[in-house]
Structure 1
Amino acid sequence: MKLAGGLQARFLLIIALALAVLLLLLSVLMQRQERTQEEVIEVTRDAMTGVASESLRRHGEGMVAQLQVALTNPLYYFDLDAIGVLAGSALDQGDARYVLVYDTAGNVIHDGSEVIPSYGKRMDDAFADEVIASDSLLVQFSEDLMDVSMPILIGGERLGGVRVGFDLAMTRSFQDRAVDEMRDRLDRLGSRQLFWVGAMAAGVLLLGGLTLYLLQRWLIQPIRQLADAARQIEAGRFGVHPPTSRRRDEVGELIRAFSRMSESLARHDREIRRMAYTDALTGLANRLAFREALDERLLRIRGGGRQLALLFADIDDFKRVNDTLGHDAGDDVLVQCSTRIRDAIARHADDDALLARFGGDEFVILVHTPRDGQDVRTLAMELADVLVAELGKPLEVQGRQVFLGTSIGITLFPDDASTATSLMKNGDIAMYQAKVAGKNCHRFYSRAMDLAVERRVNLEHELRGAWERGELSLVYQPVYRLADRTLVGAEALLRWNHPVHGQVAPSVFIDVAEQSGLIETLGPRVLRAACLEAMHWQKLQPRGAPLSVAVNVSSRQLRHGGELAQIVADCLRETGLEPSRLHLELTETAVLGDEVHASQMLARLRETGVKVLLDDFGTGFSGLSHLRRVPVDGVKIDRSFIADILRDPDDLALTSAIIAMARSLGITVIAEGVEKAGQYALLRERGCDQAQGYWLGAPLPAGEFRALLSGVR
């Protein structure tokens, strides 16, 4: 009995020890399970937070970058309807709390709503100051908001910016629900496992080991795999393949949900990249994609002996299509042009040639040294000739033919430049020289072009303020009536006496003023000075026929016809000059470029009482139909026809036809550039009304012209 009792005690002791071990194991197992669950939840929460934050940030940056590109033209032309459509479309997306388009001062232009309650108000939220001051993409966070903004630039000039606010509460709510759901499911799973462990006390050691094994295999390992995949996605590697599972339990659902989320992120990343690197209208690469490809190719071929040619093509007179036919027609033209360019490249260049649209009407082509050993310069020249020919053919737009052309600048690597920035700058310079050369042609870049651009920039800089410094002045060329050689007026001509370079040719500085917009400042000053001088003439000849003064008006001023008419009316009122004594001269090409718009503007000018003359008549393919549709009081025959009327029958016939056509319409005909007595006699014989030229009188400063009137000279 003692033995038995001793064995029993020992057995009981063993059982007690086993139970103690069991309890200890159960305690350890429970602690391990709780720790494992918390680790899983923490890892999952961190992974989901990182993925969601990065996804929202990329989504926001992509949306704002797309809005910045789309809003550039509407903001430049202050098209509130187009801005509102774009802002409203972005605002309709579920995670956007607000969309603001603002100007350079931080005032709201549009907020995506129909009534725009915040229009004109300055942004005054916590992010506003940094948004207004930022010159690049800016992402800012608060407790419940992510604000993404980007300035809107065109040609280096800041027009304003766009900002979008994204609600973080939705993202956090989604994360909390997912974590809570996972916590509940893990709790239920742990409870079931502990229940079976407690119910099967006899096999606790085996069951514990098996439980740990199964937990490791079914839960910890998949979660860790998901965490690894999440970290890779967070690092931007969206092509990672997350773990897959056919399990029908909660972990399997979690794995499949994570896989779907990963695929969605990858798809959105591809879409964002496509939008960021592709021109939406033509499907071509855009400026960003082209720049990256150019950098990569330069790095790849540097030192390898291969050459590149960059062709910078700009569609000539494309703005005329938008102005006359509308932007839909302009888009159709761009699509047709891109198709023709793509086809030409496919026929005449290698497969590795790259075509991109830089925006507007600018296309850029990159070609390599051909594999057959042909010189890249020759290839670029042949391709440019083909493009000029193809884009010069008529386009069918809205049932009518449109004739355009293209100006192409060509630059070579490494002959002209060794960096992408320099190549693109050189191509732009060469393209501009092609425009200057008459358009619809190509020009190769040369270092002399840099000097020409620099001179032009310096000239523009010096032209600003030249009027205030007294360097600009007016001279007056007499205009005579041919019938009796009576002085009837004068044309006011602007001259620039540069303190260093002396007299600058008007053809040079007037072009600079036109291109830079300075003409809009100089024009009203010239007009006022000429009207004041004409009032002095009236005092010198109080009883004679009143002399007229003619002032040239640029095409740029004509485009703002309403402002021009008001400027003319104000000038006449301030100077007291009779409206009929003021003649405004506009070039024929500027007027006939858009007859409908020009007719309306000229009608408003004539309402002020002034007379409108077509200058350089005959150079713009003039016809009777044009003169019937455009309200003018007279035409000035271009000097190129007058110069050869004594020896060229064609010029004489054309001049005679212009005189007859104008007289039949009851408008005045003035001949420019009369340099010989024979020209004067022939024009008088053909019935020309008035003439001017060096044979009749050279342009005179105001004092000398007054002396001419008073009979001193």
Structure 2
Amino acid sequence: MPMEGGVTTADALAGRPGPVRARWAWGHVAVGLTLVAIYGFGPVPWQSPVMALGIVLGMVALSVGPTRNLAPADRLPYRLVRAAAGLFIVATIIRAVVPSTMATPPTAIALIPNSFVVPAYLCLGYAFLVLLRRRRAADDDPARVDAVLVGLAAAFVTWTFVISPAVYSADLSALQVLDALFPIIDVVMLILVAQLMLAGGVRQAALWLMIVAAACMFVGDLLFTLRDAQLIDISQTPSNAAFLLMFVLIPAASLHPSTRTLVQPQKIVVRDMSKLRMTVIGLVVVVPTIITSLMPAGSVLNDLVRAGLCAMIVLSVLGRVVRSNNSRVRAELMTRRRATHDALTDLPNRELLSETVAAWADRATTEHLEISLLFIDLDRFKMINDHWGPEVGDELLCAVAGRLGEQVRAEDVVARIGGDEFVIALASASHERLAESLADRLLVEFARPFRLSVGEVVVSASIGVAKSAGGAHALELIRDADTAMYKAKGAGRNAYAMFDTSLREQIRDRVKLEQALRGALDRGELAVHFQPIVDIVTDELDGFEALMRWNSPELGFVSPVEFIPIAEETGLIEEMGAWMLRESVRQLQEWLDVRGPDARPLHVSVNVAVRQLSDGSLVKLVDDTLRESGLPPRALWLEITESGVMADIEAALLTLNALHALGVTLCIDDFGTGYSSLSYLHRLPVGIVKIDRSFIDDVGAAGANEPIVRAVLAMTHAMGHRVVAEGVETEVQRDWLRAQGCDLVQGWFYGKAERAEDLTSWIERPVPA
């Protein structure tokens, strides 16, 4: 992220100033090109000052650019370049001070500047090598071979037309022959720079500046060698101008912000070979071959060198073909693995699992095999993700994958086919009970904590087991195991269940029910029924509980026990619950308007689903509904279940406290059927506790639940809560509850849940004497 003055956040954290702007690099190039032009075409007396000025500007740029653009650990290549530049400068000064060192043919004194030039080349070559190592994307990058091909071709041409004539010329001195070997260094440089150019990754300005600089160095050395060997008759100006241009471009590369890309590993980009690259490789092979064929035979050494270079070119091309083929095979294998394995756990995915099961099915009949699948789903995995975050969730999935792998045989398959869903596939003799035995072991294993970065975490699993003697399709077998897993979840989780055909019918009915439920609200098939809640002391109406009912034209009346769980699982409950809240509040306000301000206030009690409780929009929905209807907040009761609260107690408390702040009354529904409510009830901002009907059935007849109901009444009253007893169906139950001090009751003794238009008698009912 940019900061003021062009300094990035990364720069600030690294303790270095911001990068140099690109215009400074191009400005340096413009000034440098001007100096090169003056040096090449201007008056001779100007050459030395122009050369000196170019060198000074280059050294300044080599100091400023890396300091501003690179972290200290990335500046090594440019430190080497500065060392090389310093050695070149020393050699240049010696040649300027002692003109005889530049005499043609050279004398022994020419060795003095050359003793600085050779180390300078070594420093420069090592700098290019460091850049290449840092930038290179992969070891099998074809740029390596292509660069070697370019270098070999350059070596062949250089040997044939430069080195060989110098070595075998009778007119040249030993020093001239030695100078003629300098292009060998340039060939090595060319190989390194060619790799930088051909390697994958971004090719930005700094890279192109470096490539052109290396080309200038090669041209300058070539001209110097040809002149020194008296193979061409030119002055020193062209070669010196080429060197000066190199001294402009390399510092410009260090100044440009993109110089960072030269020291950073580049992502390899796989692309088809370009026509230009194919042409260059073709010329590299063809030109040396043609030259070798056309040129007459010379000395044995000369012919052997040319033949050896040609052979190396051919072998390099062959190596490139082999390497390319191997890379293609490896890429295909990697692509295949990515397509058939889970990226997080590296387990086989659904595709590979299906292929394996299908292959087993082909052998099942002849080898009398039974194929078994264990479908494993982690219980309440979402709670772990929500509490600790997805990173810890991923940790847990990897730990589960490892533990599952420890429990199976080498020939079994452990696969991950979904978020927290795993499948183990087994093939065994039909008389063996491997699947059942493994399911038992896995339940024991899941009882042991998983050691994660946040500490020890325990998670249970629901397991579905399906078997086939080979007739079932792989996907059908996975589906059957999945169906059995849901049976295990429905039985209370942390268990395994075997698949049978009746489950398939249940799933088909469930899917049919789910499809019919989608759109039921829009089609007007849902209705709100209201059951009276009565003051047990006066038998006076205190309010109603709103209950959702569904009458489908296709399926008829569908029990809430059947469609509410489906609505919660699919998320439909949020839209349905919001509709029921608005409809219930609207209806209660209508009744209050009919009864008038002097009548006893009524309330309406609306159930809140677990999904609604965990949704932050519930508070706004309630607030908006109350404001739109004008209903007093105290007239709205919201019923929550113990299991809904305990699914995520901290998140639930945030929502419940916000609702309590609005003034609505909160109720604990089905009290006593869920978690240990005694330890949490004091933390919840509730005003009403509803005793579940299962505790009311036998009260008044010396039933076993009477002590429990007495204890609940005493405890809740001590906390200041009121109590509603559900499921009151007899006068005996009513009288016993009244004697125990219960506050409110509801049940068929007073009336069932009915449509609003059928409750007129309750609304108009006079107050009992």
TM-score interval w.r.t. the shorter chain? 0.5 to 0.7
Match of 1:558 in 2: 613
Point out where structure 1 has 5 or more consecutive residues left out of the alignment: 1-50, 53-92, 98-164, 201-206, 208-213, 220-246
Greater RCO structure (CA 8 Å; 6+ sep): 2
Structure 2 counterpart of 1:670, from 717, 724, 730: 724
Shift in alpha-carbon separation, 1:644–1:559, aligned structure 2, 3 A: same
Give, in angstroms, the shift of residue 473 of structure 1. 2.0
> Equivalents in 2 of 1:559, 1:705: separation in Å?
33
Match of 2:444 in 1: 389
Give, in angstroms, the shift of residue 556 of structure 1. 1.6
- Kept in 2, the 8 Å contact 1:595–1:629? The answer is no
Shift in alpha-carbon separation, 1:627–1:96, aligned structure 2, 3 A: farther
Shift in alpha-carbon separation, 1:500–1:648, aligned structure 2, 3 A: farther
1:380 maps to a residue whose letter is: A
1:355 maps to a residue whose letter is: V
Match of 1:343 in 2: 406
Larger CA deviation: 608-617 vs 398-407: 398-407
Does the alignment pair 1:411 with 2:470? Answer: no
Structure 2 matches for 1:197-212, cutoff 5 A? Answer: none
Match of 1:643 in 2: 697
Give, in angstroms, the shift of residue 266 of structure 1. 4.0
Match of 1:369 in 2: 428
If the length of structure 2 is used for normalisation, what is the TM-score? 0.59
- Kept in 1, the 8 Å contact 2:700–2:733? The answer is yes
Match of 1:18 in 2: none
> Equivalents in 2 of 1:683, 1:303: separation in Å?
70
SS at match of 1:550: strand
> Equivalents in 1 of 2:554, 2:293: separation in Å?
96
Larger CA deviation: 584-593 vs 563-572: 563-572
Give, in angstroms, the shift of residue 436 of structure 1. 2.5
SS at match of 2:315: helix
Q: Which has the larger radius of gyration?
A: 2
Match of 1:291 in 2: 354
Does the alignment pair 1:521 with 2:570? Answer: no
- Kept in 2, the 8 Å contact 1:477–1:692? The answer is yes
Give, in angstroms, the shift of residue 477 of structure 1. 1.2
- Kept in 1, the 8 Å contact 2:368–2:469? The answer is no
Does the alignment pair 1:331 with 2:388? Answer: no
Shift in alpha-carbon separation, 1:663–1:471, aligned structure 2, 3 A: same
Structure 2 matches for 1:8-407, cutoff 5 A? Answer: 172-173=273-274, 176-177=276-277, 179-196=279-296, 249-346=312-409, 351-370=410-429, 374-375=431-432, 378-397=433-452, 402-407=457-462
Structure 2 counterpart of 1:578, from 632, 657, 675: 632
Match of 1:477 in 2: 531
1:368-404 Cα deviation digits (max 9, x unpaired): 123xx634xx332222232233324444555655443
CA-atom RMSD in angstroms: 3.5
Match of 2:589 in 1: 535
1:531-579 Cα deviation digits (max 9, x unpaired): 1221232134321221100011111222223x22222222222222211
SS at match of 1:530: helix
- Kept in 1, the 8 Å contact 2:529–2:756? The answer is yes
1:362 maps to a residue whose letter is: E
1:392-423 Cα deviation digits (max 9, x unpaired): 444455565544322222222247x5211222
- Kept in 1, the 8 Å contact 2:377–2:420? The answer is yes
Match of 2:264 in 1: none
- Kept in 1, the 8 Å contact 2:360–2:371? The answer is no
2:481 maps to a residue whose letter is: G
SS at match of 1:307: strand
> Equivalents in 2 of 1:374, 1:611: separation in Å?
60
> Equivalents in 1 of 2:536, 2:393: separation in Å?
48
> Equivalents in 2 of 1:467, 1:500: separation in Å?
15
If the length of structure 1 is used for normalisation, what is the TM-score? 0.64
Point out where structure 2 has 5 or more consecutive residues left out of the alignment: 1-140, 143-198, 204-266
> Equivalents in 2 of 1:428, 1:629: separation in Å?
39
- Kept in 1, the 8 Å contact 2:463–2:485? The answer is yes
- Kept in 1, the 8 Å contact 2:642–2:675? The answer is no
Shift in alpha-carbon separation, 1:374–1:167, aligned structure 2, 3 A: closer
- Kept in 2, the 8 Å contact 1:392–1:406? The answer is no
1:414-470 Cα deviation digits (max 9, x unpaired): 47x521122222222222232233322222223322322222222223233434544
Does the alignment pair 1:711 with 2:765? Answer: yes
Match of 2:664 in 1: 610
Give, in angstroms, the shift of residue 648 of structure 1. 7.8
2:584 maps to a residue whose letter is: A
SS at match of 1:488: strand
1:273-300 Cα deviation digits (max 9, x unpaired): 4433333433322223222222322234
1:234-258 Cα deviation digits (max 9, x unpaired): xxxxxxxxxxxxx972223333444
Give, in angstroms, the shift of residue 198 of structure 1. 9.8
Give, in angstroms, the shift of residue 606 of structure 1. 2.6
Whose strand proportion is higher, 1 or 2? 1
1:295-341 Cα deviation digits (max 9, x unpaired): 32223435543221112111111111111222232223223322332
Give, in angstroms, the shift of residue 500 of structure 1. 5.2
- Kept in 1, the 8 Å contact 2:364–2:469? The answer is no
Does the alignment pair 1:439 with 2:493? Answer: yes
> Equivalents in 1 of 2:555, 2:623: separation in Å?
36
- Kept in 1, the 8 Å contact 2:724–2:742? The answer is yes
Shift in alpha-carbon separation, 1:648–1:254, aligned structure 2, 3 A: farther
Whose helix proportion is higher, 1 or 2? 2
Shift in alpha-carbon separation, 1:640–1:648, aligned structure 2, 3 A: farther
1:193 maps to a residue whose letter is: S
1:38-80 Cα deviation digits (max 9, x unpaired): xxxxxxxxxxxxx99xxxxxxxxxxxxxxxxxxxxxxxxxxxx
Larger CA deviation: 542-551 vs 623-632: 623-632
Shift in alpha-carbon separation, 1:398–1:490, aligned structure 2, 3 A: farther
Shift in alpha-carbon separation, 1:681–1:454, aligned structure 2, 3 A: same
Match of 1:545 in 2: 600
- The number of residue pairs the alignment matches comes to 504
- Kept in 1, the 8 Å contact 2:584–2:606? The answer is yes
